[in-house]
Chain A
Amino acid sequence: MIVEIRDLRLILGGRPVLNGVDLTMRAGDIYGFLGPNGAGKSTTISVLAGLRPPASGKVEVLGRDPVAERTWIHRRIGVLSEQSGFYEWMAAAEYLKWFSGLSGKRLGEAEATLRLRRVGLDGRDRAPVGTYSRGMKQRLGLARALLNDPELLVLDEPTNGLDPRGRREIHDVLLEMSVNDGVGILICTHLLDDVDRLCTHLGILSKGKTVLEGSVAGLLAGRYAAARYRLRVPAPESAVTLPAGVRVASRSGEWWHVELSGAGDPAAAWRELLDSGLRIEEIHQEGGGLEELYLAATETREAV
């Protein structure tokens, strides 16, 4: 295990902020850490990074206590925090060299340029960071987090401010690190598309408590999973009997919003519908099962 958090609790200003967070990661996992705003994701990251001591519970990062062995941990993890400020008067390459120097490592000009190129910042390494767009700063933050070639990378909203091409490039960098180097990556995000594309594992936090955790594939096959599809169906001439596992959630003109339970095979369901005389002209998947999974998990907690 590179991260093991069990029943983590934290009180800040007399108010319980974390009430039982569980999180388990192995090397090479890409873990999507989801939850509504204020659920405690960033606070959990600060505990994981040893910046806040927990009130109770087990927290181990790379097999060690992050508070007691903070310096050791910080040499081996990279963190891109949500609030990631820069020294705006510095040039990007100078900034990376300075940060690297803090860990006693001298970064040469060529290596700084190479590292900037890796996150898509080539050609602007001499411009002051203050002239960068939000997306460029995000890339620079990622380059900073990767400076110590970490075993564990923690990214809080890593694709914030990036255009679709930029997001795709960052996804590729992360996938390469996970697959080729076995780096564990923890991603806090609100973008389910990021999770869908990258994550092998998932944890959902609501009101400071983990309400769902496991492999993405396992969870999607589980009880919360219900893939949503949008079908274009001209008005049927007679009543249609729906196959098992298929439910029409709503209709809007020719568009049917259909839910398919986790056990159902979409191809078989569409064939059965076509055989029953229904004319399906278009099929679009909506948000995948992840959205349903997320909404169901967070709604359950709200109801509690």
Chain B
Amino acid sequence: MNPAWWIARKESGEILVNGRGLAWLFALTVIMSVLSLLLVSNTELSLLDNAQVVYMVMGTITALGALFAVVLGADAVAGERERGSLMPLLLTSVTPSEIVSGKMGGQASGWTVMYLLGLPYLWAVGSSGQNLLQAIAYLALFGTLTVLGFGFFALGLSARFKSVRTALLTSLISWMLLASPLLLGPSLRQSAVGRGFDAANPFSSSLNAFDSVVIDSQPFSMQTGRLAVALAWFVLTAWYAVRGVRKMEL
């Protein structure tokens, strides 16, 4: 079996067996449960339409998935270094490329678990609407690129910084800055700054694609620009992580 796969398997095990990984997943499901309950109540009272609610749940799953990925990524190398388990890994015949691929595989597992946990909530709020299947598909496509991009970015920082705390805080600051479109109102998003931010921000690309597909029922052909931004984010952050792990110091 390929060493990268072997490392990815360990990373996945760490998420699902280790207390810390499970605690994070538990916290994320609690947040999703509370949010879904509020949104379903709002729909029942006709305060929000069904598509709007699905869009909000998709955005929240993406944002929380990215937060989870950031936490995992920041710990991936700096955490191993702090706990003394990086040195034994470097002393095996595994190459840095295999290490980074394995770590990325672990991130993908984390997001897969998060995505699967999010599906029942998406179904709960969207099963009575028109665009549930599109929502599930677009969350898989845009959510994966955005979330894993955040994880890879944190992984790159983790390889460069010696302490988990520094890597985690820097990653969280970046996550909050980029996730801020979730908080921008419609008028602010129409301003020049808002439009510029939207055009270059992977979070905005995902949210705008969700909006376009789920609320406005627009086709995939309208999403290519947004997909390009999300894809560029994914490729750039993957490159950043690979470069960081290849150059990492003890």
Contacts and interface: CB of A to CB of B under 8 A. Distances in A.
Interface of A: 46, 49, 51-52, 71, 74-75, 79, 81, 83-87, 89-90, 98-99, 101-104, 141, 144
25 contacts: A46-B250, A49-B91, A51-B87, A51-B90, A75-B93, A81-B84, A81-B91, A84-B88, A85-B83, A85-B86, A85-B87, A87-B14, A89-B13, A89-B17, A89-B19, A90-B13, A98-B10, A101-B3, A101-B6, A102-B3, A102-B94, A103-B92, A103-B93, A103-B94, A104-B3
Interface of B: 1, 3, 6-7, 10, 13-14, 17-19, 80, 83-95, 250
A145 B51 CA distance: 57
A101 B19 CA distance: 24
Contacts of A144: 88
Contacts of B80: 85
B85 A85 contact: yes
Contacts of A90: 13
Given A51-B90, A87-B10, 17 more contacts: A51-B250, A74-B91, A74-B92, A74-B93, A83-B84, A84-B84, A84-B87, A85-B80, A85-B85, A89-B13, A89-B14, A89-B17, A89-B19, A102-B3, A102-B6, A102-B7, A104-B1
Nearest to A83: B84
Nearest to B80: A85
A265 to B, nearest CB: 46
Contacts of A71: 93, 95
A149 to B, nearest CB: 14
B246 to A, nearest CB: 13
Nearest to B1: A101
A282 to B, nearest CB: 45
Contacts of A83: 84, 87
A220 B155 CA distance: 52
A79 B91 contact: yes
A89 B10 CA distance: 11
Nearest to B3: A102
Contacts of A102: 3, 6-7, 89, 92-94
